[in-house]
Amino acid sequence: MCESCVEKSAHKVGAGTPVSPDRWFTYDVVAEDPGTHARAGVLHTPHGDVPTPIFMPVGTKATVKGILPDTLERLGTKILLNNTYHLSQRPGADLVEEMGGVHEFMQWHGPILTDSGGFQVFSHEEFFKLSNAGVRFRAVDYDGSWVEWSPEKNMEIAQKLGADIVMQLDQCVGYPAPRSKVERSVELSSMWADRCFAAHTRPDQALFGIVQGGMHLDLRVRSLRHLEDAGDFPGYGIGGYSVGEDHDTMFESLEPLCAEYMPKGKPRYLMGVGNPTTLVRGVACGVDMFDCVLPTRTARTGSAFSSEGRLNLRHARFTHDHAPLDAACGCPTCTGGYTRAYLHHLVRQKEMAGSMLISQHNVWYLLDLMRRAREAIIAGTYADFVSDWMASPAARDW
């Protein structure tokens, strides 16, 4: 680790007073597409620069399932995501801090983002209780104990984990939901954003605010304006999408939110979205960062993205198929001599190698898609890129 990184990582949680992360976190927009709202940029972090638009593989429990860190690097991963809720439950934030933080713990030395864990907490349905103070929930997927999180406690955990970027504690509601429930979500998330901003003191770590508001553009704008008034967040997450609505419904409010209201000089992170066509359309709206468990989760069921559309490798039609998974793909799986027939065999036999090979392909596929999108933005041809994509078999990715 470089000398400056050692100095930064030596910061003790809770010591000193809040310090602006501007010294280490800046975002440069390097190109804007003339035919869409897409832009290319560079996000600077203590563990390296991140070219945008970018997809972030999800390593929920400090591991991207089936892919080792050195393989992630070879695939082109620039930044990945860990989950605060799961790491706080096991092995615990104190142990991760003792081991040197998430970078050292999982041996990934590039940038890391940790989400707040709020989505996981609120997915516990009847096992959580909300109040202005925070959330009380039962860790039903661990030891069943009741846990209380205030915004301050959430920030304490995030700072101990030590990722480059952390997210405020927010409240997310599913779709459909009564407007009154969405308004309450915005109210709580805004209130908690204030307290997260005040509680976060680690200067080598950026705290992003999260825009909530469901499918209501006016509530989204209200949420954003509160965040802008609350403090100088170096970036913004866009939460509360991909929670039951169809994608066209999502884009009705997402496009104007990004194009007309979100600040130009800060990264925009659409949380929990990861199928290829949604990424392509999201970039056209002006989104810079994406994450999703989809590429590895679907790989474990034998499902692969491809230039021909989504492929189900369990299907008997692949039994005698000599072709690579995707002839147009440059990933290690597709260029390594592995045939569709072999992958079909592995999937049907539930062999770990099948999940690993398809996971590598799916992650590479999304990373390469964002690389090509960035090239098109810089060339000023992203509108054509979107048009070509939507007319291609690859767009059949459901």
* Residue numbers annotated as active site: 115, 291
Q: CA-to-CA distance for 167 and 227, rounded, in angstroms?
A: 13
Is 118 known as a binding-site position?
A: yes
Q: CA-to-CA distance for 59 and 359, rounded, in angstroms?
A: 12
Is 331 known as a binding-site position?
A: yes
Is 239 known as a binding-site position?
A: no
Q: Which residues contact 314 (CB under 8 A, 6 or more apart)?
A: 301, 302, 344, 347, 348
Structure tokens at 286: 């002006």
Structure tokens at 171: 């409240």
Structure tokens at 389: 């994509």
Q: CA-to-CA distance for 192 and 132, rounded, in angstroms?
A: 8
Parallel, antiparallel, or unpaired: how do β-strands 54-57 and 303-304 relate?
unpaired
What is the residue-wise DSSP string for 241-283?
A: -SSS--HHHHHHHHHHIIIIIS-TTS-EEETT---HHHHHHHH
Is 292 known as a binding-site position?
A: no
Is 320 known as a binding-site position?
A: no
Compute the Cα dihedral for 340, 341, 344, 346 and give only its sign: negative
Is 2 known as a binding-site position?
A: no
Is 329 known as a binding-site position?
A: yes
Is 5 known as a binding-site position?
A: no
Q: How many CB atoms lie within 10 A of CB 130?
A: 15
Is 105 known as a binding-site position?
A: no
Is 258 known as a binding-site position?
A: no
Is 115 known as a binding-site position?
A: yes
Q: CA-to-CA distance for 191 and 132, rounded, in angstroms?
A: 8
Helix (H) and strand (E) counts in the chain: 16, 16
| Binding-site positions for Zn(2+) | 329, 331, 334, 361
| Binding-site positions for substrate | 115-119, 170, 212, 240
| Binding-site positions | 115-119, 170, 212, 240, 329, 331, 334, 361
